[in-house]
Structure 1
Amino acid sequence: MSNSSGRSYGRRRVLVTGGAGFLGSHLIDRLLKRGDEVLCVDNLFTGDKSNIDHLAGNPRFEFMRHDVCFPLFVEVDEIWNLACPASPIHYQHDPVQTTKTSVHGAINMLGLAKRLKVPIFQASTSEIYGDPSIHPQPEEYWGNVNTIGPRSCYDEGKRCAETLFFDYHRQHGLDIKVARIFNTYGPRMHASDGRVVSNFIVQALRGEDITIYGDGSQTRSFCYCEDLIEGFIRFMEAGPDVHGPINLGNPVEFTIRQLAETVLAKIGGRSKLVEEPLPQDDPLQRRPDITKAKQQLDWKPSIELDEGLDRTIAYFRTIVAEKPARIGERHLAGVNA
């Protein structure tokens, strides 16, 4: 058997950076299910070992605490680069480190992929489109990004990472896969990362008022994590001529107010919707054009928001019951991401 770069192997040994995070841990579950050996690398800044505790004792799973800003010398057959804080609260906590993680991390992982001659996947983001002037956003759109704003550490870091990936592809013939991820939700989200789905669910479960930033008319599209991981797998298994960037997300659009009302209706209680000022550079619209994903990957989301929210609420009910004090430790502020 060989991978798309021609490297021969029996069972694949796969590296996942950011593997203890929300999406990374779900990806690892899927990779183990298909029979791979997985090396999970995470510095645990936003990742949580509880996301991978269920893998303890699995002989095909290994965890390494490491920061991708520093070189990594391992032998693997495939690299998935998911390492980077992904919510505004977390990536704005140390913006310089956020940029370093995106840029230095990309350089180090691309260098490793070049040495090993293996395919590499980059978890990019819809944030590279900024506050878009084109709706929905196709991959050809270059974006509308503030280069010096409070979100730019993440936006521009990811944009630079994309540049590096495509330059390594052009200059060194590297097999790259660049996925632009739109809003994704599901179990194992960080309860206090301020993202809109987790924020609303936790506030409603704790009987607090639900905070809407702006008037709630801004829109987002919400993709359930299981659907997104399926898109990841199909992308990585696509032929060596499919490099992206490819949008992965749910094209069904909701206003923030609609989401809040839906969550409140499902959970019940006496929480009220409370409006606060819209943060700087918060996008007013965000919805992917997934034409390329449909055509090149034969992929589209299958889990509707109603079902996905039920699964996510069930997860957070357990978290709130187990750790009622810790849920509110970090201030939930400033985003409807």
Structure 2
Amino acid sequence: MPITDVTTDPESLTLTVTADFTVPVSRLWDAYTDPRQIERFWGPPEYPATFFRHDAHPGGVSQYCMTGPEGDRSCGYWEWTAVDAPRSFEVRDGFAHEDGEPNTELPHMRMVFEFAETALGSRLVTTTHFNSLEELEQLQGMGMVEGMSAAMGQIDAVLEDLASFAEGRGTELQLIGDRKARVARVIRGTVDQVWRAHMEADLLRRWQLGPDGWTMPVCEVATEVGQHHRSGWENTADGQQFGFTGVLLEVAAPYRAVTTEKMWTPEDPDADGSPETRNELTLTPVEGGTLLSLLITYPDTATREMVLATGMVDGMEASYARLESEVIGA
């Protein structure tokens, strides 16, 4: 159990939890900023968490739900207000409805996470600031301390497994719920480099090609909300063509971009007959480079399975490997 101290201060309206770890600060920091890792310990063992969004930058948002053994769900959100990597970050923490919207009928708190080096590794001090004594007592009565203790008791196992998340593991696929899929990979480059590689047509043409034997004659990038993007590939052997088009819905350079996407073909150039997905790209600096996380929401399960069966993940891995070697030079 990493927790070494829990202190409640009714006068300052704070709850402070101190935990010690035998890993460097950078590894502990990555465990909190990587959605694949934090969801393995943020909820108690009987209520594992799934993070649908996790933006580790000021102005960012995290959304998650914890699911119990009977299928009951408890959801929450973070609003990231400050980040000083890898020393500290601060969030507004609150309860949420299942659609991610804040539940204003329940309290919200200010949480400060402070990371420091120690002789044996690292220390995390988490201070929760409440708005009133009544809210502090309410959250304590709801089992907040017990829940945090149970959740943090899982961190050691995650930290021991951090090598499995290291660079070189390749593109990973995680199915989330009935309609979502998250593709993740650590790219050996900075956040700015990976962002530019997605936002500049000349760079995109060099790496976003999938398997060998394809060219990218169409590459129109959207950089402002409301703009349309369009890409198109052609097989050099048989002339087969296809592509994607959509609209940029959100952008927070260089960390996050949200687009819609539909597939077009020569027979359906406007993609009228293609199902539409919502693609959420998030870039997070981690040890070894930049964690690229792409959360794709499909219209239904059947469409998700059909797309994944085409070898999409293998094609993305080929493109990301090319991104590292030809654009970033890693």
Mark yes or no: TM-score above 0.5.
Answer: no
Computing the radius of gyration from Cα coordinates, the structure with the larger value is 2
Q: Give the TM-score normalised by the residue count of structure 1.
A: 0.23
Q: Give the TM-score normalised by the residue count of structure 2.
A: 0.24
Which has the larger share of helix? 1
**Structure with greater contact order relative to length (CA < 8 Å, sep ≥ 6):** 1
